Amino acid sequence: MYSAWANYRFWWRLWLLLFLGYIPGMLAIVYVSIWILDCVAVSYVAFFAWIAALATSWIRAVAFTCPRCGHTFFHRGWFTNGFARKCLHCGLRKWAEPGQKRG
């Protein structure tokens, strides 16, 4: 059975990979674009694409909807906690299935 958490896990892991791989990845892209291709424009395009992917993955992870109540898991009004351990609306613990008790 598909878990609602699989979607969150995908976007969180993608963000983490992009975040941790930013410096080595950009260094490799700059090296290839400047020393091998002799074209600086490739570096600029890669930079903006990487930042866009980083922002998109973070927004998708933080905009995750709670499997129990259907509200955003990490947002309540103007308050946002991207590292919350339970739903800010119904209290469902992170990684718990909707049928489990409130925590």
3-state secondary structure the chain: CCCCHHHHHHHHHHHHHHHHCHHHHHHHHHHHHHHHCCCCHHHHHHHHHHHHHHHHHHHHHHCCECCCCCCECCEECCEECCCCCECCCCCCECCCCCCCCCC
Q: Same domain, yes or no, for 26 and 10?
A: yes
Q: What's residue 1's pLDDT?
A: 37
Mean pLDDT of 15-25: 96
Do residues 81 and 51 share a domain? no
Same domain, 69 and 103: yes
Q: What's the number of domains the chain is made of?
A: 2
- Structure confidence by residue, pLDDT tens digits, 29-79: 999 988 888 888 889 999 999 999 999 999 999 999 999 999 999 999 888
pTM flag (> 0.85): no
Query: What is the model's pLDDT at position 100?
Result: 60
Pair (40, 70) in one structural domain? no
